Amino acid sequence: MKKIINTSFLYAILAMIGGVFYREFTKFNHFVGKTTLSVVHTHLFMLGMFFFLVILLLAKQYKNLIEDKKFKLFYYIYNGGLLLATAMFVWRGVLQVLGSDISSALNASISGMAGIGHILLAVGIIIFFTILKKQEK
Protein backbone atom coordinates (compact mmCIF):
# COMPACT_ATOMS: atom_id res chain seq x y z
CA MET A 1 0.00 0.00 0.00
CA LYS A 2 2.81 2.38 0.87
CA LYS A 3 4.34 1.89 -2.59
CA ILE A 4 1.04 2.90 -4.23
CA ILE A 5 0.71 5.99 -2.00
CA ASN A 6 4.30 6.99 -2.74
CA THR A 7 3.78 6.48 -6.47
CA SER A 8 0.67 8.63 -6.43
CA PHE A 9 2.46 11.33 -4.44
CA LEU A 10 5.45 11.27 -6.81
CA TYR A 11 3.13 11.78 -9.79
CA ALA A 12 1.43 14.68 -7.97
CA ILE A 13 4.81 16.35 -7.49
CA LEU A 14 5.84 15.67 -11.11
CA ALA A 15 2.51 17.03 -12.35
CA MET A 16 2.95 20.25 -10.40
CA ILE A 17 6.52 20.61 -11.65
CA GLY A 18 5.26 19.99 -15.19
CA GLY A 19 2.61 22.67 -14.84
CA VAL A 20 5.01 25.24 -13.44
CA PHE A 21 7.61 24.39 -16.08
CA TYR A 22 5.04 24.82 -18.86
CA ARG A 23 3.91 28.18 -17.56
CA GLU A 24 7.32 29.61 -16.76
CA PHE A 25 9.20 28.19 -19.76
CA THR A 26 6.66 29.54 -22.24
CA LYS A 27 6.52 32.89 -20.44
CA PHE A 28 10.32 33.17 -20.30
CA ASN A 29 10.56 32.46 -24.04
CA HIS A 30 7.64 34.77 -24.91
CA PHE A 31 5.87 31.84 -26.53
CA VAL A 32 2.21 32.14 -27.43
CA GLY A 33 0.53 29.20 -29.09
CA LYS A 34 -0.04 25.50 -28.72
CA THR A 35 2.62 23.24 -27.33
CA THR A 36 2.58 19.68 -26.05
CA LEU A 37 3.96 20.97 -22.77
CA SER A 38 0.37 21.85 -21.92
CA VAL A 39 -0.62 18.17 -21.63
CA VAL A 40 2.20 17.08 -19.31
CA HIS A 41 0.46 18.45 -16.21
CA THR A 42 -2.88 16.75 -16.88
CA HIS A 43 -1.39 13.43 -18.02
CA LEU A 44 0.66 13.14 -14.85
CA PHE A 45 -2.24 14.14 -12.60
CA MET A 46 -4.88 11.91 -14.17
CA LEU A 47 -2.90 8.90 -15.39
CA GLY A 48 -0.42 9.12 -12.54
CA MET A 49 -1.74 10.52 -9.29
CA PHE A 50 -5.47 9.87 -9.66
CA PHE A 51 -5.09 6.45 -11.24
CA PHE A 52 -2.91 5.23 -8.36
CA LEU A 53 -5.30 6.74 -5.81
CA VAL A 54 -8.08 4.70 -7.46
CA ILE A 55 -5.86 1.61 -7.24
CA LEU A 56 -5.35 2.36 -3.55
CA LEU A 57 -9.13 2.48 -3.01
CA LEU A 58 -9.58 -0.74 -4.97
CA ALA A 59 -6.83 -2.39 -2.94
CA LYS A 60 -8.83 -1.62 0.20
CA GLN A 61 -11.84 -3.35 -1.37
CA TYR A 62 -9.94 -6.31 -2.84
CA LYS A 63 -7.31 -7.45 -0.37
CA ASN A 64 -5.40 -9.61 -2.91
CA LEU A 65 -5.19 -6.97 -5.64
CA ILE A 66 -1.66 -5.79 -4.91
CA GLU A 67 -0.44 -9.26 -3.95
CA ASP A 68 -1.39 -10.68 -7.37
CA LYS A 69 1.71 -11.98 -9.17
CA LYS A 70 0.87 -9.88 -12.25
CA PHE A 71 0.62 -6.64 -10.28
CA LYS A 72 4.36 -6.04 -10.39
CA LEU A 73 4.29 -6.54 -14.18
CA PHE A 74 1.43 -4.04 -14.47
CA TYR A 75 3.21 -1.57 -12.21
CA TYR A 76 6.43 -1.47 -14.23
CA ILE A 77 4.83 -1.52 -17.68
CA TYR A 78 2.28 1.17 -16.81
CA ASN A 79 4.78 3.48 -15.11
CA GLY A 80 7.33 2.98 -17.87
CA GLY A 81 4.71 3.88 -20.47
CA LEU A 82 3.53 6.97 -18.63
CA LEU A 83 7.05 8.26 -18.01
CA LEU A 84 8.10 7.57 -21.61
CA ALA A 85 5.08 9.33 -23.10
CA THR A 86 5.49 12.27 -20.72
CA ALA A 87 9.19 12.60 -21.50
CA MET A 88 8.37 12.76 -25.21
CA PHE A 89 5.73 15.44 -24.56
CA VAL A 90 8.32 17.50 -22.71
CA TRP A 91 10.96 16.99 -25.41
CA ARG A 92 8.59 17.94 -28.23
CA GLY A 93 7.18 20.85 -26.24
CA VAL A 94 10.60 22.31 -25.49
CA LEU A 95 11.49 22.07 -29.19
CA GLN A 96 8.20 23.77 -30.10
CA VAL A 97 8.71 26.62 -27.65
CA LEU A 98 12.29 27.15 -28.78
CA GLY A 99 11.16 27.09 -32.41
CA SER A 100 13.76 24.47 -33.27
CA ASP A 101 13.84 23.11 -36.77
CA ILE A 102 13.98 19.36 -36.44
CA SER A 103 14.46 16.74 -39.08
CA SER A 104 11.58 14.57 -40.16
CA ALA A 105 13.47 11.59 -38.70
CA LEU A 106 13.67 13.21 -35.26
CA ASN A 107 10.05 14.28 -35.51
CA ALA A 108 9.01 10.73 -36.37
CA SER A 109 11.12 9.22 -33.60
CA ILE A 110 9.64 11.52 -30.94
CA SER A 111 6.14 10.62 -32.15
CA GLY A 112 7.06 6.94 -32.28
CA MET A 113 8.45 6.90 -28.76
CA ALA A 114 5.36 8.73 -27.46
CA GLY A 115 3.27 6.13 -29.28
CA ILE A 116 5.23 3.30 -27.63
CA GLY A 117 4.61 4.99 -24.27
CA HIS A 118 0.87 5.06 -24.97
CA ILE A 119 0.93 1.41 -26.09
CA LEU A 120 2.67 0.47 -22.84
CA LEU A 121 0.00 2.40 -20.93
CA ALA A 122 -2.70 0.45 -22.77
CA VAL A 123 -0.99 -2.88 -22.07
CA GLY A 124 -0.66 -1.90 -18.41
CA ILE A 125 -4.34 -1.02 -18.20
CA ILE A 126 -5.30 -4.35 -19.79
CA ILE A 127 -3.11 -6.23 -17.30
CA PHE A 128 -4.65 -4.24 -14.46
CA PHE A 129 -8.18 -5.09 -15.57
CA THR A 130 -7.30 -8.79 -15.82
CA ILE A 131 -6.03 -8.61 -12.24
CA LEU A 132 -9.17 -6.76 -11.18
CA LYS A 133 -11.50 -9.24 -12.90
CA LYS A 134 -9.72 -12.10 -11.14
CA GLN A 135 -10.59 -10.49 -7.78
CA GLU A 136 -14.32 -10.96 -8.43
CA LYS A 137 -14.05 -14.73 -8.75
pLDDT at position 63 is: 84
Specify the pTM.
Answer: 0.93
By three-state DSSP, how is residue 17 classified? helix
Comparing CA positions, the residue from 86, 87, 78, 65 lying closest to residue 122 is 78
For 30-59, what is the mean pLDDT?
95
Q: Which string of DSSP letters, residue by residue, matches 85-134? A: HHHHHHHHHHHHHHT----HHHHHHHHHHHHHHHHHHHHHHHHHHHHHHH
For residue 1, the model assigns a pLDDT of: 86
Mean pLDDT of the 36-60 span: 96
What letter represents residue 47's amino acid? Answer: L
Q: Would the pLDDT of 135 be above 90?
A: no
Instruction: Decide if pLDDT at 50 tops 90.
Output: yes
Over range 36-57, report the average pLDDT. 96
Cβ-proximal residues to 15 (8 Å cutoff; 6+ apart), any chain: 40, 41, 42, 44, 45, 48, 49
Tell me the average pLDDT across 92-120. Answer: 96
Question: 3-state DSSP call for residue 70?
Answer: coil
- Tell me the pLDDT tens digit for each residue of 78-105: 999 999 999 999 999 999 999 999 999 9
Task: Specify the pLDDT at position 34.
Answer: 93
What are the extents of the domains in the chain? 2-135
> What pLDDT shows up at residue 136?
77
Residue 101 phi/psi, 5-degree rounding, is -85, 120
Task: Output 104 or 135, whichever has higher pLDDT.
Answer: 104
Q: Are 97 and 31 in contact (CB under 8 A)?
A: yes
Our CA angle for 125, 37, 108, nearest 5°, is 75
Contact indicator for 34, 85 with CB cutoff of 8 Å: no
